[in-house]
Amino acid sequence: MSEPSSRAAAAGVETTGIEIIAESERTARPRNLFLPWFASNISVFGMSYGAFVLGFGISFWQATVATLIGVVVSFAFCGAIAIAGKRGSAPTMVASRAAFGVQGNKLPGIVSWITSIGWETSLAITAVLATATIFARLGWSSGTAVKIIAAVVVALLIVAGAVAGYHIIMKMQTVLTWITGIVTIIYLAMALPAIRWDAVMAIGSGPWQSVIGALTMVMTGMGLGWVNIAADWSRYQSREASGRSIVFWNTFGGSLGPVFLITAGLLLAGSSKTLSDGVQTDPVGALASILPTWFLVPFLLVAILSLLSGAINGIYSSGLTLLSLGIRIPRPAASLIDGTILTIGTIYVVFFSPNFISPFQSFLVTLGVPLAAWAGIMMADISLRHKPYDDADLFRSDGRYGAVDPISMVTLVVATAVGWGLVINQYEGVSWNDWQGYLLGPLDLGGRQGDWASANIGVIVALVLGFLVTLVARRSRVRAQEALDA
């Protein structure tokens, strides 16, 4: 790829791809990061995690602790990686080239791209299922035709927002934040009578391995699901912006909604087994079952808007990741390609998968491991650096970052292999993914049927391995890179 340059936006649509953002366009402040992170995570879908977490067989208080730690810590990881955006004025998977090499970074880039596509698709699926369920409650048509139309409309809205780009998305997120926030508060007020404290408090405690499993799922479903795009929004930050402020506003914006939403979901799921079971097949639609009929339409609209908000951010970033892999097309065209894949994936799960939660959790666990390993490597690399990235060398295989960094590549592969050996994927309808967990027996952790199997500690192990190995093995390499004159 040629040396990066900045492109002006035309007709309000961002045409900038993965090139370095011009100094004149770096006008954002850390507090501006609150809106995209808050709007992307205020979705009522967050309440569904209450049922997912209690599904590990733990008590309300154990689930609350797992939620608080999992949400805040995972979004803090996003904040740490967002610093790379300020230092490099480039998307996350371009800044990642400093750790993996310009060509070597294509390996984590592929993982990142698939992960983003998976997340966008899961949000679109949730919107389609919610539409069909609420239409049925209202006595309207809710059959196959409605689902197909909903899938197409949802996909078109997501792609349109992503094609528009950064500046329009930021304006849109301001409006969505207020709308979704207000209606979500109204929903919570209406849901209060459905909470049965006696039933919630009667839920028995589970083994601490199950608590770790719940915490891991929350981390993977929350902040770790966003780490691969964390710097995409901070690349418009001023070079004088405080790194600590960037970490804070990322963490605060991303965590605020999920902490309250998942806690509310725990109370609702713990109060009703019917609702908890319904969430497994239709996460948002099941939440509407406790609402009066007159509130279903506004609830549906806001639920879809909140889901679209997160999906638009994901499609925008997955398009940037696709470009970072060497695909030479305009950024809007990359978003169109990802939107097509999203539509196909949505139709498959809605019409051919036995339930929603099985492919969703299988996806989280499988790709969560290499993504966690990458995040550990990236955070260690960022902590070792004290200077901005060399803009030109991020695009040159013969520059200071090289074509391939063997230490990072081997670390990623080994950490992923170890991580996959410590997780299981025994979910209904995804039997083809039951090959993991091969280290649980040899390491005397009870095998695939023991207490440690549900802990899925492979995600955490992969992250820690990636971080520690990089911190030790690449210290001298990073110093040598920063010693070179720009």
DSSP assignments along 230-244, one per residue: THHHHTTB-TTS-HH
How many CA atoms lie less than 13 Å away from 155 in the CB half-sphere? 21
**What pLDDT score was predicted for residue 8?**
40
**Side chain identity, residue 313:** N
Q: What is the distance between the alpha carbons of residues 21 and 88, in angstroms, rounded to a whole number? A: 9
**Three-class secondary structure of residue 384 per DSSP:** helix
At how many degrees (to 10) do helices 60-88 and 45-54 cross? 130
**What pLDDT score was predicted for residue 409?**
96
Please classify residue 95 by burial: count the beta carbons closer than 10 Å to its beta carbon, then call 0-12 exposed, 13-18 middle and 19+ buried: buried
Strand runs labelled E in 246-313: none
For the chain, give the number of residues.
486
Note the pTM of the prediction, 2 decimals: 0.82
Q: What is the distance between the alpha carbons of residues 334 and 85, in angstroms, rounded to a whole number? A: 20
**What pLDDT score was predicted for residue 425?**
76
Domains, the chain, in order of start with CATH, read 27-357 (1.10.4160.10)
**What pLDDT score was predicted for residue 2?**
37
Q: What is the distance between the alpha carbons of residues 98 and 92, in angstroms, rounded to a whole number? A: 11
**Side chain identity, residue 235:** R
**What pLDDT score was predicted for residue 43?**
75
Asked if 72 and 259 touch (Cβ cutoff 8 Å), the reply is yes
**What pLDDT score was predicted for residue 170?**
65
**What pLDDT score was predicted for residue 435?**
85
**What pLDDT score was predicted for residue 100?**
96
Cα–chain center distance at 93: 15
Q: What is the distance between the alpha carbons of residues 121 and 384, in angstroms, rounded to a whole number? A: 35
With a cut of 70, which residues of the chain have pLDDT below it?
A: 1-19, 141-143, 161-170, 173, 352-361, 364, 426-430, 485-486
